[in-house]
Structure 1
Amino acid sequence: MRSTSENPPTALARTALELAAAHDSAATHRLYRELHAHPELSGAEHRTAARVRAALRAEGIDCTEGVGGTGVVGVLANGPGRTVLVRADMDALPVAEDSGLPYASTVDGVMHACGHDAHTAMLVGTAQALARGRRHWSGTVVLVAQPAEETGAGALAMRDDGLHRRFPLPDVLLAQHVSAGPIGLVAHVEGPVLAASASIDVVVHGRGGHGSRPDTTTDPIVIGAAIVGRLQSIVAREIAPRETAVVTVGRFHAGTANNVIPATAELGLTVRSTSRECQARILAAVQRIVRAECEAAGATAAPDIRVVKSMPATVNDARVARNVAAVHTRMFGGDRIVDPGPAMGSEDFSELALLPNGQTRPYHYWFLPSTPLAVWNAAPGRSPMARFGNVPSAHSPDFAPDPAVLDHGVAAMTGAVLAELAIDPVKR
Structure 2
Amino acid sequence: MDLPYSFDKWRHIFEESFPDLDKYGSIYKDLHQHPELPCQESRTAAVVAGHLESLGYQVKKNIGGHGLVGILSNGTGKTVLLRSELDALPIKEDTGLLYASKAKQVDEDGISKHVMHACGHDMHMASLLGAADLMKSIKDIWSGTQVCLFQPNEERLLGGQAMIEDGLFSKIPLPDIVLGQHAVPIKAGTIGTRPGRVLGFLDSLDVRVYGKGTHSSTPELGIDPILIASCIVSRLQMVVAREIDTKEPCVVTCGTFHGGTDASIIPEYADFKVDVRSFNKDIQLAAVKAVKRIIQGECQAARSPKTPRILTATSCPPIDNDEQATARFTRALRGFYGDIASEKVLLMDLDMTADDFVLFGHPPGGKPIPYIYWNYGVTPGDQYDEAEREGTIQDLPCNHNSKFAPEIEPSLRAGIEALAIASVLFFEDGARSAHISSQNTVAAMSMDRFYHLY
* Fold match by TM threshold 0.5: yes
**Displacement after TM superposition at 1:199 (Å):** 2.3
The code of the aligned residue for 1:2 comes to D
Correspondence for 1:171 among 171, 176, 180: 176
- CA spacing shift, 1:363–1:219, aligned 2, 3 Å: same
Return the alpha-carbon distance in structure 2 between the equivalents of residues 323 and 346 of structure 1.
Answer: 24
Query: What is aligned with 1:418?
Result: 424
Whether 1:375 and 2:380 are equivalent positions in the alignment is no
Shift in Å at residue 256 of structure 1? Answer: 5.4
Residue 23 of structure 1, aligned match among 9, 18, 23: 18
Please list the CA deviations of residues 80-119 of structure 1 after superposition, one character each: whole Å capped at 9, or x if unmatched.
2221110011212222222222222252422222111111
**Is the Cα–Cα contact under 8 Å of residues 13 and 327 in structure 1 kept in the other structure?**
no
Q: Which moved more, 1:208-217 or 1:116-125?
A: 208-217
Q: For residue 413 of structure 1, what is the amino acid of its counterpart?
A: L
Q: Secondary structure at the match of 1:306?
A: strand
Q: What pairs up with 1:370-409 in 2 under 5 angstroms?
A: 370-379=378-387, 382-383=390-391, 386-387=392-393, 389-404=394-409, 405-409=411-415
Alignment check: 8 A CA contact 1:81 1:140 kept: yes
Question: Structure 1's 380 and 74: CA in aligned 2 closer, same or farther, altered over 3 A?
Answer: closer
Alignment of 1:250-261 (within 5 A): 250-255=255-260, 261=266
Alpha-carbon distance in structure 1 between the residues aligned to 2:240 and 2:366:
32
Per mean C-alpha deviation after superposition, the further-off stretch among 293-302 and 141-150 is 293-302
Q: What's the CA shift string for 1:153-199, capped at 9, x where partnerless?
A: 21112111111112100111101111112112111122222222232
Q: Tell me the amino acid that sits aligned with residue 10 of structure 2.
A: T
Where structure 1 has 5 or more consecutive residues not aligned to the other structure, the ranges are none
| Letter in structure 2 aligned against 1:341 | D
* Letter of the structure 1 residue corresponding to residue 79 of structure 2: T
Residue 139 of structure 1: how far off its partner (Å): 1.7
Aligned match of 1:338 = 346
Give 1:34-73 correspondences, 5 Å limit: 34-73=30-69
Question: 2: CA distance between counterparts of 1:41 and 1:259?
Answer: 34
* Greater gyration radius: 2
Q: 1:363 aligns with which of 360, 364, 371?
A: 371
Tell me the distance in 2 between the aligned counterparts of 1:107 and 1:214. Answer: 42
In 2, Cα distance between equivalents of 1:317 and 1:344? 19
The residue that corresponds to 1:115 in the other structure is 120
**Counterpart-to-counterpart distance in 1, 2:215 and 2:89:** 40
Q: What percentage of aligned pairs have identical amino acids?
A: 37
**RMSD (Å), alpha carbons:** 2.5
Instruction: Give, as a single letter, the amino acid of the residue that structure 2 aligns with 1:122.
Output: S
Q: Structure 1 CA distance, aligned partners of 2:297 and 2:184?
A: 40
| TM-score normalised per structure 2 | 0.84
SS, match of residue 407 in structure 1:
helix
Task: Describe the shift of the 1:42–1:203 C-alpha distance in structure 2 as closer, same or farther (beyond 3 A).
Answer: closer
Measure how far apart 1:318 and its partner are. 1.3
Partner of residue 99, structure 2: 103
Structure-1 separation of matches of 2:15 and 2:76:
23
Is the 1:380–1:390 Cα contact (8 Å) retained in structure 2?
A: no
List runs of 5+ in structure 2 lacking aligned partners.
105-113, 437-454
2:449 paired residue number: none
Q: C-alpha displacement at 1:349, in angstroms?
A: 0.8
Q: In structure 2, how many angstroms separate the alpha carbons of the residues matched to 1:112 and 1:17?
A: 34
Q: Per-residue displacement from partner, 1:60-89 (whole Å, max 9, x unpaired)?
A: 222212222212211122222221110011
The answer to whether residue 149 in structure 2 is matched with residue 162 in structure 1 is no
Equivalent pair of 2:189/2:413 in contact (CA under 8 Å): no
Relative to 1, partners in 2 of residues 1:239 and 1:53: Cα closer, same or farther, differing over 3 Å? same
Q: How far does residue 255 in structure 1 lie from its aligned partner after superposition?
A: 4.8
What is the distance in 2 between the residues matched to 1:46 and 1:216?
Answer: 49
Q: Structure 2 counterpart of 1:141, which letter?
A: Q
Letter in 2 for 1:247: V
Deviation of 1:55 after TM superposition, in Å, equals 2.0
Query: Residue by residue, what CA displacement relative to the aligned partner does 1:388-425 show, whole Å, maximum 9, x if unpaired?
Result: x2222222222211111111211111111112222255
CA gap of 1:209–1:401, structure 2 versus 1, over 3 A, is same
The answer to whether the 8 A contact 2:197-2:319 is kept is: yes
Residue aligned with 1:422, SS: helix
**Is residue 202–residue 304 contact of structure 1 (8 Å, CA) maintained in 2?**
yes
Distance 1:196 1:346 in 2: 6
- Asked whether 1:303 is paired with 2:308, we answer yes
Q: 2:80: which partner in 1? A: 84
The amino acid of 2:209's aligned partner reads V
Counterparts of 1:137-148 in structure 2, within 5 Å, are 137-148=142-153
Alpha-carbon distance, 1:142 to partner: 1.0
Give the deviation of 1:253 after TM superposition.
3.8
Tell me the alpha carbon deviations over residues 208-248 of structure 1, each in whole angstroms, 9 at most, x when there is no partner: 44666655544434433442343223223433334321111
Which moves more between the two structures, 395-404 or 409-418?
395-404
Letter in 2 for 1:28: Y
Between the aligned partners of 2:103 and 2:257, the Cα distance in structure 1 is 29
What pairs up with 1:254-269 in 2 under 5 angstroms? 254-255=259-260, 261-269=266-274
SS of corresponding position for 1:284: helix
SS in 1 for 2:304: coil
**Inter-partner Cα distance in structure 2 for 1:376 and 1:319:** 31
Q: How far apart in 2 are the matches of 1:262 and 1:41?
A: 30
Distance 1:99 1:64 in 2: 35
- 1:195–1:346 contact (8 Å) kept in structure 2: yes
Contact in 1 for aligned 2:348/2:374 (Cα 8 Å): no
TM-score (norm 1): 0.89
Match 1:231 to one of 236, 252, 258: 236
**Partner amino acid for 1:365?**
Y
